[in-house]
Chains A and B, each alone.
Chain A
């Protein structure tokens, strides 16, 4: 974080390089956002140009489009359920794995580590059958959120366990001496101390759910679709309306971007923690 650890500042060459990288990175995003402010006629004339004049109609159409809000609601509810289930189950599982001493502790932890190796794609077809037929949860919020939480759990536990291990034990011990039960200690001492770790894994679970495509693609239809499905379907249905597609897409990326910008530190530390753990 500090420049203390490096030397070498920036010459003109460095700044040129950096500018090119920044332009290549942001270019496509800017193209989408600005393209939404242009008309199809402008886009056809010069695809890379700036809006001239600025057209707000595309964005207005998206924002007054009833299905956009339905998709946004579905995305939000599913992401919130996924996040809550992931964080609650994750912190509960990580606690004994971090603090209890029992013979099967490490094997039990390995179950979560191994869980990282099961790609969603492997399970997707039977998952689809399980949820739509056996559980009758096809085309529902929970039908998408619960499997997503299950697939988010391995990473969550892998991040949270070292985090809980690093918490000072003294407070818990003091509470035990005062006669508190395990569950009481977990609820009143451990949970409040683990809020930063829970926020980290929560943000990761939320973003993953918000962006997920494969599972919703198979499970959700019509009014239950989420934003990524809406974006993909809109872009095929109205492929002639490029400006409309770009406006729809740009608005759909705003929530993830805002969440990322406000929670940047947490996301970054979570990903790095996962790698180190």
Chain B
């Protein structure tokens, strides 16, 4: 294994550019000895192999599967062209699911962003127990979605659950079927639980971004007589831009593949009011054995995620690479 060999060739000649901006280090390279290529292969090989077998191959098979009518046994030979796609895209349940995913995407940005930002600014103040509070707010994020789901399922029991009790105590009437049983409310209820679970991540990332704001800026503003609100609005929030945009990206990608929490809380019900693309394709694939339809739904999900990611990268994140960092 450890042959002694002069492999000094690898010491990079273009060190400075590489260090300044690792992503854009396009420099003339010295020709690699075969030995070095072998080393790269040995180092990167296992990771690439794992990803090829367990990510790339299944995704490619999903694409293939989506063109066949296949119930999961026997040879896959009933080629149906785009039929599965028209079935999926014509299915009201799936279209509803896409709508639900997008509603969660939009609501997450509209609600969790201001909420997370507010909490981050609050916890960035010089208050007592700040460290403990930061830990507390992050606790739900560490719990499994399943665990959060099971606890909230109990809290949200119609009639005798804690939430209904609290709503009653304020003088309102909880819906008769419960928050999880009333189709018009269920998705919003799921969203509240999602916010409870994930706002901590936003707060954590924003707090880290706030640490990067130079203290001099606050001091200068303070000397000029700016109030706390003004410094936050004019200095802290604008400088958080890149962090916010990255968080929004993570949030979108998470919302588009939402599964665990919905599965535990509602199973997609009542009356498909909370179906997501992921619950739809799992349902089609495992419960009904419609592998072709599940494949088509996976491909649609992937295309939506990819288009969203590329558009976001082009339209929003690109600004960050141009702005001075």
Chain A residues with CB below 8 A from B128, complex form: 10
In the complex, whether B274 has a CB less than 8 A from a CB of chain A is: no
Complex Cα spacing A106 to B25, Å: 8
Judging by beta carbons under 8 Å apart, are B155 and A31 in contact?
yes
Judging by beta carbons under 8 Å apart, are A181 and B154 in contact?
no
In the complex, whether B200 has a CB less than 8 A from a CB of chain A is: yes
Judging by beta carbons under 8 Å apart, are A162 and B205 in contact?
no
Chain B residues with CB below 8 A from A10, complex form: 125-128
Chain B residues with CB below 8 A from A112, complex form: 47, 51
Given A10-B127, A121-B301, A173-B11, decide whether A28 and B155 contact each other with a Cβ distance below 8 A.
Answer: yes
Complex Cα spacing A130 to B23, Å: 35
Q: Which of A51-59, A62-70, A191-199, A207-215 contacts B (4 or more CB under 8 A)?
A: A207-215
State the Cβ distance, B268 to closest chain A Cβ, in Å: 14
Q: Which of B27-35, B77-85, B88-96, B179-187 contacts A (4 or more CB under 8 A)?
A: B27-35
> Which of A31, A85, A101 has most B Cβ within 10 Å?
A101
In the complex, whether A264 has a CB less than 8 A from a CB of chain B is: yes
Judging by beta carbons under 8 Å apart, are B47 and A153 in contact?
yes
In the complex, whether A224 has a CB less than 8 A from a CB of chain B is: no
Complex Cα spacing A116 to B253, Å: 10
> Which of B40, B72, B124, B247 has most A Cβ within 10 Å?
B40
Q: Which of B148-176 contact A (CB under 8 A)?
A: 148-155, 157, 160-162, 165-166
Q: Which of B277-325 contact A (CB under 8 A)?
A: 277-278, 281-282, 285-286, 291, 294-295, 298-299, 301-302, 305-306, 309
State the Cβ distance, A161 to closest chain B Cβ, in Å: 8
- Nearest chain A residue, comparing its CB with the CB of B228: A8
- Nearest chain B residue, comparing its CB with the CB of A90: B47
In the complex, whether A61 has a CB less than 8 A from a CB of chain B is: no
Query: How many A-B residue pairs lie within 8 Å, measured between CB atoms?
Result: 327
Judging by beta carbons under 8 Å apart, are A127 and B58 in contact?
yes
- Nearest chain A residue, comparing its CB with the CB of B276: A121
State the Cβ distance, B275 to closest chain A Cβ, in Å: 13
Judging by beta carbons under 8 Å apart, are B122 and A17 in contact?
yes
Find B47's partner among A93, A121, A235 (CB 8 Å cutoff): A93
In the complex, whether B146 has a CB less than 8 A from a CB of chain A is: yes
State the Cβ distance, B48 to closest chain A Cβ, in Å: 7
Judging by beta carbons under 8 Å apart, are B160 and A44 in contact?
yes
Chain A residues with CB below 8 A from B106, complex form: none
Judging by beta carbons under 8 Å apart, are A99 and B65 in contact?
no
Find A31's partner among B130, B133, B151 (CB 8 Å cutoff): B151
Find B144's partner among A105, A218, A253 (CB 8 Å cutoff): A253
In the complex, whether B103 has a CB less than 8 A from a CB of chain A is: no
State the Cβ distance, A89 to closest chain B Cβ, in Å: 4
In the complex, whether B59 has a CB less than 8 A from a CB of chain A is: yes
In the complex, whether A252 has a CB less than 8 A from a CB of chain B is: yes
State the Cβ distance, A76 to closest chain B Cβ, in Å: 14
Judging by beta carbons under 8 Å apart, are A257 and B142 in contact?
yes
Chain A residues with CB below 8 A from B250, complex form: 275
Judging by beta carbons under 8 Å apart, are A130 and B61 in contact?
yes
State the Cβ distance, B249 to closest chain A Cβ, in Å: 9
In the complex, whether B18 has a CB less than 8 A from a CB of chain A is: yes
- Nearest chain B residue, comparing its CB with the CB of A242: B154
Q: Which of A211-264 contact B (CB under 8 A)?
A: 211-214, 217-218, 228-229, 231-232, 235, 242, 245-246, 249, 252-253, 256-257, 259-261, 264
Given A108-B44, A147-B54, A182-B39, decide whether A35 and B154 contact each other with a Cβ distance below 8 A.
Answer: yes
State the Cβ distance, B212 to closest chain A Cβ, in Å: 9
In the complex, whether A124 has a CB less than 8 A from a CB of chain B is: yes
Given A14-B125, A106-B25, decide whether A47 and B55 contact each other with a Cβ distance below 8 A.
Answer: no
Complex Cα spacing A119 to B143, Å: 20
State the Cβ distance, A7 to closest chain B Cβ, in Å: 6
Judging by beta carbons under 8 Å apart, are B201 and A271 in contact?
yes
> Which of A7, A116, A126 has most B Cβ within 10 Å?
A126
- Nearest chain B residue, comparing its CB with the CB of A105: B25
Judging by beta carbons under 8 Å apart, are B144 and A210 in contact?
yes
Complex Cα spacing A5 to B125, Å: 9
Complex Cα spacing A262 to B228, Å: 34
Chain B residues with CB below 8 A from A149, complex form: 50
Judging by beta carbons under 8 Å apart, are B285 and A92 in contact?
no
Judging by beta carbons under 8 Å apart, are B2 and A183 in contact?
yes
Find A153's partner among B3, B50, B143, B285 (CB 8 Å cutoff): B50
Complex Cα spacing A272 to B250, Å: 12
Find B147's partner among A101, A212, A231 (CB 8 Å cutoff): A231
Nearest first, the 5 A-B pairs at minimum CB distance are A211-B144, A150-B54, A123-B58, A10-B127, A126-B61
List 21 A–B pairs whose Cβ atoms lie within 8 Å, in order of A's numbering: A5-B210, A9-B125, A15-B127, A22-B133, A25-B136, A28-B152, A47-B165, A100-B10, A101-B18, A118-B302, A126-B295, A130-B58, A151-B54, A173-B11, A182-B10, A182-B39, A183-B1, A213-B144, A213-B146, A217-B263, A228-B144
Residues of chain A whose beta carbon lies under 8 Å from any beta carbon of chain B: 1, 3-10, 14-15, 17-18, 21-22, 24-26, 28-29, 31-32, 35, 44, 47-48, 85, 88-90, 92-93, 95-97, 99-103, 105-106, 108, 111-112, 115-130, 146-147, 149-151, 153-154, 157, 161-162, 165, 173, 176, 179, 181-184, 186, 207, 210-214, 217-218, 228-229, 231-232, 235, 242, 245-246, 249, 252-253, 256-257, 259-261, 264, 267-268, 271-272, 275
